[in-house]
């Protein structure tokens, strides 16, 4: 990827996350930030504990690994000319302008295509049919059903605590760019990649969407439970106060679980997954009582031995301090601050020759 040059005209999260894929893979990513607004707004999205004088927030660092930053005012002819010169030599241009703003500034698709016909022009908008409408993650979570399904029944709706719609859109954008680059290797042609956050959000509904489209089922808040599997995701508490979840996906796993807990399987109520989903409430009460008599360590060991999946509910600090997490953390210096972030790229590529060696 070191020969790939990306010009990023995007701010906040989805666009920068797409650019982050390329910077982590070793490409040159030049991030153009608005000089008039003192750069990407996420520079100032700090947690309560962060230094207010730092030019880089932890939020900003999360999506801007080792990018070359150029502050520019695109309304100024000289700054615009500098950026256009970079675009002339770019393989990929990523933007999240409103369409009207992009054209006004001279960075609309047709304008960029004239400057560099071989470039992959990747455009991110909020809504396909109203590209000038501003889009924010929480609004999209509300509009596309996520908030209505998140939380617990009878309690206020809960937002997914990361900008999940932006993450989904970033994955769509990355896939589109990679596909366009692959096709360009075949025919030498530049392409346009268009991604809208609304469509990306709908794509993430997967089985909940098909359950409605095919069955008329309207999902509601279920906490951590699964609409189609039981017991799967519900939180139980062990004798030593450890919260844990089960992921029982087969009848064999369920039989092993009940055997370990010393509970007789009532086949007319719990003999199949369909029955367990139907009688979820009664099953939950029995499991809650039984699990409360086991320490987590002893129960987890017994479940692992019988192939019944379970996990402790870890806090984010516990998750990131774990040994397996270490190889997924990047440390780097960013504008005078040590930045630590999780990797965007977790896949590994190796040739057949490398594997033989």
- CATH number for the domain spanning 37: value is 3.40.50.10540
Burial class for 136, CB neighbours closer than 10 Å (0-12, 13-18, 19+) = middle
Give the alpha-carbon dihedral of 134, 136, 141, 144, to 10 degrees.
10
Global pTM value: 0.88
Give me the mean pLDDT over the 54-72 stretch: 93
Together in a domain, 174 and 244: no
Q: What percent of the chain has pLDDT over 90?
A: 76
For residue 117, pLDDT over 60 is answered with yes
Together in a domain, 136 and 261: no
Asked if the bond preceding 168 is cis, omega within 30° of 0, the reply is no
Together in a domain, 60 and 194: yes
Identify the residue whose tokens are 């030019």.
55
Per-residue pLDDT at 116: 96
Identify the domain containing residue 30 by its residue range.
5-204
Per-residue pLDDT at 57: 92
Together in a domain, 83 and 164: yes
For residue 100, pLDDT over 60 is answered with yes
> What is the rounded average pLDDT for all residues in the chain?
92
Give the three-state DSSP class for 184.
Answer: helix
Per-residue pLDDT at 248: 95
Please tell me which residue, 175 or 266, carries the higher pLDDT value: 175
Per-residue pLDDT at 328: 92
Q: What angle do CA 168, 235, 202 make, to 5 degrees?
A: 20
Together in a domain, 196 and 269: no
Confidence of residue 22 (pLDDT cuts 50, 70, 90): very high
Q: 346 in a domain, yes or no?
A: no
Together in a domain, 145 and 283: no
Number of domains in the chain: 2
Per-residue pLDDT at 156: 85
Token digits of residue 34: 């608005």
Whether residue 295 contacts residue 238, with contact meaning beta carbons closer than 8 Å, is answered with yes
Whether residue 73 contacts residue 156, with contact meaning beta carbons closer than 8 Å, is answered with no
Together in a domain, 45 and 193: yes
Together in a domain, 197 and 66: yes
Together in a domain, 197 and 241: no
What b-and-e string marks burial along 93-131, b requiring 16 or more CB atoms within 10 Å of the CB? Answer: bbbbbeeeebeeebbbbeebbebbeebbbbbbbbbeeeb
Token digits of residue 13: 């999260």
Confidence of residue 53 (pLDDT cuts 50, 70, 90): confident
For residue 357, pLDDT over 70 is answered with no
Per-residue pLDDT at 340: 92
Residue 73 appears among annotated catalytic residues: no
- The alpha helices in the chain, defined as continuous H runs, are 14-24, 58-62, 77-88, 99-105, 109-115, 137-143, 146-149, 164-187, 197-203, 206-215, 251-261, 267-270, 273-278, 280-291, 296-305, 316-321, 352-356
For residue 51, pLDDT over 90 is answered with no
Please tell me which residue, 347 or 7, carries the higher pLDDT value: 7
Catalytic residue among 40, 91, 166, 196: 166
Give me the mean pLDDT over the 235-252 stretch: 95
Which of 17, 31, 121 shows the shortest CA–CA distance to 345? 17
Confidence of residue 179 (pLDDT cuts 50, 70, 90): very high
Together in a domain, 199 and 241: no
Per-residue pLDDT at 356: 60
Per-residue pLDDT at 354: 59
Confidence of residue 96 (pLDDT cuts 50, 70, 90): very high
Strand order of the β-sheet with 120-125 is 68-72, 28-34, 5-9, 92-95, 120-125, 191-196
Which of 208, 204, 210 shows the shortest CA–CA distance to 220? 208
Token digits of residue 100: 């009207």
Together in a domain, 124 and 237: no
For residue 294, pLDDT over 80 is answered with yes
Per-residue pLDDT at 350: 81
């Amino acid at each position: 990827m070191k020969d790939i040059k990306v010009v990023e005209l995007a701010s906040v999260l989805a666009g920068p996350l797409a650019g982050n894929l390329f910077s982590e893979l070793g490409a040159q990513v030049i991030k153009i930030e608005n000089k008039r607004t003192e750069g990407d707004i996420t520079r100032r999205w700090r947690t309560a504990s962060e230094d207010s004088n730092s030019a880089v927030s932890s939020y900003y660092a999360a999506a801007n690994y080792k990018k070359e930053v150029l502050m520019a005012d695109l309304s100024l002819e000289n700054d615009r000319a500098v950026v256009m010169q970079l675009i002339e030599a770019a393989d990929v241009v990523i933007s999240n302008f409103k369409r009207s703003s992009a054209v006004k500034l001279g960075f609309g698709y047709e304008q960029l295509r004239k400057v560099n016909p071989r470039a992959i022009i990747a455009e991110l908008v909020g809504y396909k049919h109203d590209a000038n409408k501003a889009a924010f993650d929480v609004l999209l979570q509300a509009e596309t059903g996520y908030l209505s399904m998140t939380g617990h029944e009878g309690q206020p709706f809960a937002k997914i605590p990361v900008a999940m719609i932006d993450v989904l859109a970033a994955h769509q954008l990355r896939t589109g760019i990679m596909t366009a680059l692959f096709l360009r290797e075949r025919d030498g042609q530049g392409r346009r990649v268009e991604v809208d956050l609304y469509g990306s959000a709908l794509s993430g509904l997967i089985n909940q969407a098909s359950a409605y489209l095919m069955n008329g089922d309207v999902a509601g808040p279920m906490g951590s439970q699964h609409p189609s599997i039981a017991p799967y995701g519900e939180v139980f508490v062990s004798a030593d106060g450890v919260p844990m979840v089960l992921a029982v996906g087969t009848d064999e796993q369920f039989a092993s679980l009940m055997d370990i807990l010393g509970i007789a399987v009532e086949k007319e109520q719990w003999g199949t997954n369909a029955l367990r989903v139907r009688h979820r409430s009664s099953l939950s009460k029995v499991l809650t009582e039984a699990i409360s008599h086991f320490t987590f360590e002893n129960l987890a060991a017994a479940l692992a031995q019988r192939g019944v999946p379970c996990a402790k509910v870890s806090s984010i600090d516990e998750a990131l301090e774990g040994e397996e997490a270490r190889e997924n953390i990047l440390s780097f210096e960013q504008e005078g601050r040590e930045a630590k972030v999780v990797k965007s790229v977790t896949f590994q590529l190796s040739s057949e020759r490398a594997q033989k060696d």
